[in-house]
Amino acid sequence: MITKAVIPAAGFGTRFLPATKASPKEMLPIIDTPVIQYVVEEAVASGITDILMVIGKGKRAVEEHFDRSFELEAELEAKGRLEELAAIRAISELANIHFVWQKRMLGLGDAIRCARYHIDGEPFAVLLGDTLMQSQNGVPATRQLIDMYERYGGGCVVALEEVPQERVSRYGIISGELIGDRTYRIRDLVEKPVPDEAPSRLAIASRYILTPDIFSYIDAAPAGKNGEIQITDALRLRTADGSAMYGCRVAAMRHDIGNTFGFITTNIRYALAHDDLAAPLGDFILAEAESIRRARAGHPK
Can you give the pLDDT at residue 147?
Answer: 94
In the chain, how long is the greatest CA-to-CA distance?
66
Find all residues with CB under 8 Å of 39, minimum gap 6, and list them. Answer: 7, 26, 127, 128, 129, 131, 132
* Structure confidence at residue 258 (pLDDT): 77
Question: What does the pLDDT read at residue 21?
Answer: 77
User: How would you classify the pairing of strands 245-249 and 156-162?
Assistant: parallel
CA distance 138 to 97: 25
Q: What pLDDT is stored for residue 170 in this prediction?
A: 84
What is the pTM (predicted TM-score) of this model?
0.91
- Answer yes or no: are the C-beta atoms of 41 and 94 closer than 8 Å: yes
Identify the CA nearest to 200 among candidates 188, 211, 208: 188
Q: Which element (helix H / strand E) includes 63? A: helix 60-65
| Low-confidence residues of the chain: pLDDT under 70 | 12-13, 299-301
Distance from C-alpha of 33 to C-alpha of 147, rounded to nearest angstrom: 28
Domains in the chain, ordered, with CATH?
A: 4-258 (3.90.550.10), 260-301 (no CATH)
